[in-house]
Chain A
Amino acid sequence: MNHSPSKITAIAVLAGAALVASACSSSGSGGGGGGGDAIVIGVPVPTSGDYASAGTDILHGAQLAAKKINSSGGINGKKIQIVAQDDACSAQTAAQAAEKLISQNIVAAAGGYCSTASAPELETFHRQGIPYVMAASTNPELTDQGFPEAFRTIGRDDEQGPFVAKFITGYLKAKRVAVGNDNSTYSKGLADSTVAALQKDGAQVVFNSALTPGQSDYSSYLTKVGQSHPDVFYYTGYFSEMGLLLKQAKQQGLNFTMMGGDANNDPTLIKTAGSAADGVLIDTAPLAQFLSSAKDYVQAYQSAYHTAPGPYSSYEYDAVGVLAEAIKNAGSTEGSKIDAALHAIKTYHGITGDFHFDSKGDRQPVAYIIITVKNGQFVADKQLNPNTGQWESVG
C-alpha cells in the first residue's frame, strides 16, 4: 500500500522498539520450523505499529490457507507450516525479519504489506534464492527489478491508471475528463498514469491539477473544475478530501460524475459526504466480501477470527495457495524450481479470481473492480470481463 513518508518515519522509530521486543519473543514461535517433515512458508508482515491490524489480517489469511491445504493432505504428503515475522512496515526491521525467516529454513515467503518494507525483504530473499509472493505491496519497482524470485497476487499501482481510463472511456463513454490529485507521490503517480492512459484512449483531459490536502474547503477548487465542463472528475487522493469534494460539489449544484482512486474505500468518506456520496464510483482491488468465489473464505474467516477478513487477507490466501500448487508441481522445495513452477502455472483458480504470473511475476489479468455507494454502503458495481472485454456487474 501507499503510505506517506512522514508516517513511515514515525513508524521507523516504533520499529526500533518493536525489534528489541520481537528479538526476544520470536524464537518461540519459529522454533519448530525447519524440521524435515514440514514445508515452512515465511510470512513477513507488520504485527506491531500503525499497520498491525492489516498485517494480522494477512497472517490470518496465510494460516487459513495452510489449514485448508493440510486438511486435504498437504503437499506431496508434507504439511505446510506458517512462520510469521514482524516487519513493522519499516525498511530496517524488514531486512532483519527476512534474515530471521531464512534462519528458520523457509522454502518460500508469502506476505508483505508496506512496499517500503517488502523491497528489502525481496532483496534479502533474492540473495538466498527464496521465492517471495507478495500479497499487498503494489509499488511497480518491486517486480520491475527483474528478480526471478518476485511474484505478487495483487495489482501494481501503474495498472490502475489504464484500468480507470478504460472504464471512463469504455463504460462511462466520457469525452472530457478532469483529473485531480493531492501531490503525494502515490496520488500524483496515479494521476499521471491515468492522464496518459486517458489521452491514449482518446479522451480529452480538460483539467489536471493538485489541491492542498487538509484545507476543509474545496469549493473554489471545484468551481474551477466545473469551469472546464468535464463529464467525469477523477480524484486520485485520499478519502478525507474526497468526502469534502463530494459534499461541496453537490452544494454547488455541479453535476459531473465523481470518481475516486483506491485510497477512497473508507467509511469516513460516506460519513463526510452524507447523501452526496450516493453513486460515487471508486476503483479498488476487490474486497473478499464482494467476490462470489470468496464466499466460503469469508465465512471461514468470520468463524475463526470473529471479524471481517480485511482488504488483503484473501490475496495472501491465494499467495499461499499458488505457492503450494507450485511446490507440488515442482516436486521440490528448491527455490529456482518453485520459481519456474510458479511461472508455469497457466491458470490458478484463486478466491480472488483466476490468474497467472507474467514474466516479471506480476498477476495477470489485473484484478480491479468498480464499487459505488448505495444507501450509505459500499457495494460492488462493475468489473471488466477479461475474456469478452465487456463491463459487467459484479455478482
Chain B
Amino acid sequence: MTAFLQYLVNGLTVGSFLALIALGYTMIYGIIRLINFAHGDVFMVGSFVGYAVVSTVVAQHWPIALIIIVAMLAGMAATGVLGIVIEGVAYQPLLNKPRLAILISALGVSLALEEGARIQFGAGFSSYPGILPTTGFSIGGAHASYAQLGVFVLSLLMMLALYLFVQRTPTGTAMRALAMDRDAARLMGINVERTIMLTFLLGSVLAGAAGVMQGLYYIQINFIMGFAIGLRAFTAAVLGGIGNLPGAMVAGFLIGLIQSFSDGYISSNWSDAVIFGVLIAVLIFKPTGIFGERVVERV
C-alpha cells in the first residue's frame, strides 16, 4: 500500500510535466491540424533560458521564490516569442499548402532548435544550480518533497488558467471557433492569423514553463531533452483525443501514472514499451482518444 501511494506521488510529478507539454501539442493540432514536432524542443529552449537566468542570478542571494518566478517568467517570455517566430516563419506561409509540407517544416524547426542548442551549450549536460529544498513530508508512508508539491500545484494552476481563458474570454471563444471551422470563423470576422499566432504563443509559454520547472527539479538538462519527453507528451495528447484540451490534461497525468506504475510493478526497462504500446492500442481501438466524444469542441 505504501509503495502504491509512492508510485502515485511519483506518477503525478511526471504527469505534471507531461500534461503541460501535451496541451501545446493538442492546442496546435486543434487549430491548424499540425503535429508540431518542434514543440518538445521549445520546451528544451525554455529550460536553457531558465538555466541562463538561474545561473546568473543565483549569485545575487535573492529569495528562492523570487529566483523561481524570474526564471519562469523569462523562460515563458522567451518561448512565447519563439513560438510566434516559428509560426510566422515556418508554418504561416505553408498553411494552405499540402499537409506534408508543413509537417516537414516542423521537423526542420525541431532539428534547427536542437542543433542550435548543441552548438550554443555543447553536447554534454548543463546543470541548474540546486536551489530547491529536498525536504518533504509523508502521506501514509509515502514521501513527497515540497518541490514535487510545487510542480504539481503550479502546473494545475497554469492548466486552470488556460482552461478559463479558452472557455471564458472572447479570444478563447475565437480559438474554439477557429478549431471548429476556419473558414466559417473568418466569415464571422475572427482574425484567423492573429488567433493562430496566439495559440502558438500560449502553447509555447506552457512548454517554456515546464522546461524551467524540469531544470529546477531535475537539475541536468541537455539539447536533446525535448525529444523523449515530447514523444510521451504527444502520446498523452493522442490518448486524450488530440485537439481536446481537458483530455490532454487528464491524459498527461495518466501517462505519468502509467510510467510510474509500470516502472514499479513491471520494470523501468519496459516503460517505453508500455507507454507506446498504449499509444498503439489507442490508435487501433479508439483513434479519437479516450475523451474522443468531445471532438467537436477541439481547441
Pairs A–B under 8 Å by Cβ, sample size 21:
A210-B267, A211-B268, A214-B228, A216-B214, A216-B218, A217-B14, A218-B268, A219-B6, A219-B10, A220-B10, A220-B261, A221-B264, A223-B264, A227-B3, A244-B220, A250-B134, A253-B143, A271-B125, A271-B127, A274-B130, A274-B134
Q: B269 contacts A211, CB within 8 Å?
A: yes
Distance of A243 from chain B, by nearest CB (Å): 6
Is A388 interfacial (CB-CB < 8 Å)? no
Interface size classification for chain B: 35 or more
Is A272 interfacial (CB-CB < 8 Å)? yes
In chain B, positions 43-69 with a C-beta closer than 8 Å to chain A are: none
Residues of chain A with a CB closer than 8 A to B272's CB: 212
User: 6 closest A-B pairs (Cβ-Cβ)?
Assistant: A271-B127, A220-B263, A219-B10, A274-B130, A211-B268, A210-B269
Contact with A along B210-245 (1 / 0, CB 8 A): 000010001110000100110000000000000000
Q: Give Cα A223–Cα B214 distance, bound, in whole angstroms.
A: 21
Q: B6 contacts A223, CB within 8 Å?
A: yes
Is B11 interfacial (CB-CB < 8 Å)? yes
Q: B134 contacts A247, CB within 8 Å?
A: yes
- A to B contact number (C-beta, < 8 Å): 98
From B124, B136, B263, A221 is in contact (CB under 8 Å) with B263
Q: B219 contacts A274, CB within 8 Å?
A: yes
Residues of chain B with a CB closer than 8 A to A223's CB: 3, 6-7, 10, 264
Q: A268 contacts B125, CB within 8 Å?
A: yes
Q: Give Cα A224–Cα B269 distance, bound, in whole angstroms.
A: 13
Chain A residues within CB distance 8 Å of chain B = 183, 209-212, 214-221, 223-224, 227, 240, 243-244, 247, 250-253, 268, 271-272, 274-276
Q: A216 contacts B134, CB within 8 Å?
A: no
Q: Give Cα A225–Cα B17 distance, bound, in whole angstroms.
A: 24
Is B171 interfacial (CB-CB < 8 Å)? no
Q: Give Cα A224–Cα B7 distance, bound, in whole angstroms.
A: 9
Distance of A245 from chain B, by nearest CB (Å): 11
Residues of chain B with a CB closer than 8 A to A244's CB: 218-220
Residues of chain A with a CB closer than 8 A to B259's CB: 215, 217, 220
Is B79 interfacial (CB-CB < 8 Å)? no
Residues of chain B with a CB closer than 8 A to A252's CB: 6, 143
Q: Give Cα A252–Cα B5 distance, bound, in whole angstroms.
A: 12
From B147, B214, B260, B269, A212 is in contact (CB under 8 Å) with B269
Q: A268 contacts B220, CB within 8 Å?
A: yes
Is B271 interfacial (CB-CB < 8 Å)? yes
Distance of B276 from chain A, by nearest CB (Å): 12
Q: Give Cα A250–Cα B7 distance, bound, in whole angstroms.
A: 16
Contact with A along B119-147 (1 / 0, CB 8 A): 00000110100100010100000010101
From A211, A216, A251, A272, B145 is in contact (CB under 8 Å) with A251
Contact of A221 with B268 at beta-carbon distance under 8 Å, contacts A216-B214, A268-B124 already known = yes
Contact with A along B1-34 (1 / 0, CB 8 A): 0010011011101100000000000000000000
Residues of chain A with a CB closer than 8 A to B268's CB: 209-212, 215, 218, 220-221, 224
Q: Give Cα A87–Cα B226 distance, bound, in whole angstroms.
A: 34
Q: Give Cα A247–Cα B135 distance, bound, in whole angstroms.
A: 11
Contact of A215 with B271 at beta-carbon distance under 8 Å, contacts A251-B145, A253-B143 already known = yes
Contact of A217 with B264 at beta-carbon distance under 8 Å, contacts A223-B6, A243-B220, A271-B219 already known = no
Residues of chain B with a CB closer than 8 A to A221's CB: 263-264, 268
Majority SS at the chain A contact face: helix
Q: Give Cα A272–Cα B10 distance, bound, in whole angstroms.
A: 19
Residues of chain B with a CB closer than 8 A to A253's CB: 143
Q: B271 contacts A212, CB within 8 Å?
A: yes
Residues of chain B with a CB closer than 8 A to A224's CB: 3, 263-264, 268
Residues of chain A with a CB closer than 8 A to B136's CB: 251
Residues of chain A with a CB closer than 8 A to B134's CB: 247, 250-251, 274-276
Closest residue of B by beta carbon distance from A254: B143
Residues of chain A with a CB closer than 8 A to B228's CB: 214-215
Closest residue of B by beta carbon distance from A211: B268
Closest residue of B by beta carbon distance from A183: B269
Q: Give Cα A250–Cα B134 distance, bound, in whole angstroms.
A: 8
Q: Give Cα A250–Cα B130 distance, bound, in whole angstroms.
A: 14
Distance of A225 from chain B, by nearest CB (Å): 10
Residues of chain B with a CB closer than 8 A to A211's CB: 263, 268-269
From B145, B218, B219, A217 is in contact (CB under 8 Å) with B218
Residues of chain B with a CB closer than 8 A to A243's CB: 219-220
Closest residue of A by beta carbon distance from B135: A251
Contact of A217 with B220 at beta-carbon distance under 8 Å, contacts A211-B268, A223-B264 already known = no
Distance of B144 from chain A, by nearest CB (Å): 9
Residues of chain A with a CB closer than 8 A to B3's CB: 223-224, 227
Residues of chain A with a CB closer than 8 A to B264's CB: 220-221, 223-224
Closest residue of A by beta carbon distance from B125: A268
From A215, A220, A268, A276, B127 is in contact (CB under 8 Å) with A268
Q: B125 contacts A216, CB within 8 Å?
A: no
Closest residue of A by beta carbon distance from B127: A271
Q: Give Cα A243–Cα B272 distance, bound, in whole angstroms.
A: 21
Residues of chain A with a CB closer than 8 A to B9's CB: 219
Distance of A51 from chain B, by nearest CB (Å): 13
Residues of chain A with a CB closer than 8 A to B261's CB: 220
Q: A272 contacts B271, CB within 8 Å?
A: no
Known: A210-B268, A251-B134, A251-B148. 11 other contacts (CB 8 A): A210-B267, A215-B259, A216-B225, A217-B218, A217-B259, A219-B260, A220-B7, A244-B218, A272-B127, A272-B219, A272-B220
Residues of chain B with a CB closer than 8 A to A209's CB: 267-269
Q: Give Cα A183–Cα B220 distance, bound, in whole angstroms.
A: 21
Residues of chain B with a CB closer than 8 A to A272's CB: 125, 127, 218-220
Residues of chain B with a CB closer than 8 A to A274's CB: 130, 134, 219
Q: A251 contacts B143, CB within 8 Å?
A: yes
Distance of B281 from chain A, by nearest CB (Å): 20
Highest count of chain B CB atoms <10 Å: which of A220, A251, A275: A220
Residues of chain A with a CB closer than 8 A to B10's CB: 217, 219-220, 223
Closest residue of A by beta carbon distance from B264: A220
Distance of A295 from chain B, by nearest CB (Å): 30
Q: A240 contacts B125, CB within 8 Å?
A: yes
